[in-house]
């Protein structure tokens, strides 16, 4: 899984979404993330088709929404996602939240069937806390590959990071720029100034150097390029420690159906 991907949440204008995906891929991105609930899978598929990049070189992920997590619904809606995306397989399929129709004994075997049939290559979950992951790993025979959650320097999720590391689960950070709030943080701004880069690049480099994958949303060519440039940024141990020491707990995604542990 490439360490940097293009997130597409709220990229709702079909033409803009398709163009941002095409631009990102031709610029060098190889990881595209979407979801059924985003309503843009068809546009993402158009962007992939328009890009001069082979499908086999792209890591493509989507997520099954919480109304469609019963066994048959997972199979049906995944087929619909594939049709909208214009592909015959997914590199990663996530359970979007452990909520509403989610039942580990119903939902997860459906994902295993999709994996056995070659429809998906990896099984993922999103917004899972340690107790949800433990249950999922007990139910699954196949490996649980990744957990996609909100992580950024202002919500560092240390407990969850340690748990996933100990249990062999990759972490994928959504909202890795804290909905733009990283630009107002003094520590990040000072480090960015020292390197002559943006606070966004500093935040993404911090995530990458901690072994986390990030999927920042970007629509314009400038922001897409700036985020990609974070792969060239290397932070020192002292700079990483300064960011680690940011004492903040800003959670931007907290729906009423989110885990009680939050």
Element (H, E) at 62: strand 59-64
Q: Give the position of tokens 């970007």.
A: 218
DSSP H helical segments within the chain, as ranges? 14-27, 41-50, 71-85, 104-116, 130-139, 158-166, 186-195, 199-209, 221-229, 237-244
Q: Whole-angstrom Cα distance, residue 7 to residue 34?
A: 7
Q: Give the position of tokens 């974070």.
A: 230
Q: Whole-angstrom Cα distance, residue 147 to residue 125?
A: 5
Residue 38 is among the residues annotated as catalytic for this protein? yes
Q: Judge whether 68 and 35 are in contact, CB under 8 Å.
A: no
> Which one from 38, 94, 102, 174 is the annotated catalytic residue?
38
- Residues with Cβ within 8 Å of 147's Cβ and at least 6 positions away in sequence, in order, are 124, 125, 126, 128, 133, 160, 164, 169, 170, 171, 172
So which residues are the catalytic ones? 38
């Amino acid at each position: 899984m490439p360490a940097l991907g293009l997130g597409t949440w709220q990229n709702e204008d079909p033409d803009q979404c398709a163009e941002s995906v095409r631009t990102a891929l031709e610029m060098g991105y190889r990881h595209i993330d979407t979801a059924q609930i985003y309503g843009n899978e068809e546009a993402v598929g158009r962007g992939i088709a328009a890009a001069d990049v082979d499908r086999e070189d792209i890591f493509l992920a989507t997520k099954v929404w919480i109304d469609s997590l019963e066994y048959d619904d997972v199979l049906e809606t995944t087929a619909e996602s594939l049709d909208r995306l214009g592909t015959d397989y997914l590199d990663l399929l996530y359970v979007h939240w452990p909520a509403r129709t989610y039942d580990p004994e119903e939902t997860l075997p459906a994902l295993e069937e999709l994996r056995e049939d070659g429809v998906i290559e990896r099984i993922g979950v999103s917004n899972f806390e340690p107790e949800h992951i433990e249950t999922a790993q007990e139910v699954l025979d196949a490996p649980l590959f990744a957990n996609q959650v909100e992580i950024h320097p202002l919500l560092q999720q240390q407990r969850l990071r340690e748990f996933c590391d100990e249990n062999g689960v990759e972490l994928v950070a959504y909202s890795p720029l804290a909905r733009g709030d990283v630009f107002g943080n003094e520590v990040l701004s000072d480090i960015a100034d020292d390197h002559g880069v943006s606070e966004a690049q500093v935040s993404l480099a911090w995530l990458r150097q901690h072994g986390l994958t990030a999927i920042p949303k970007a629509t314009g060519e400038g922001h897409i390029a700036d985020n990609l440039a974070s792969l060239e940024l290397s932070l020192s141990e002292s700079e990483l420690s300064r960011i680690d020491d940011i004492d903040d707990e800003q959670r931007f995604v907290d729906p009423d159906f989110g885990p009680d542990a939050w």
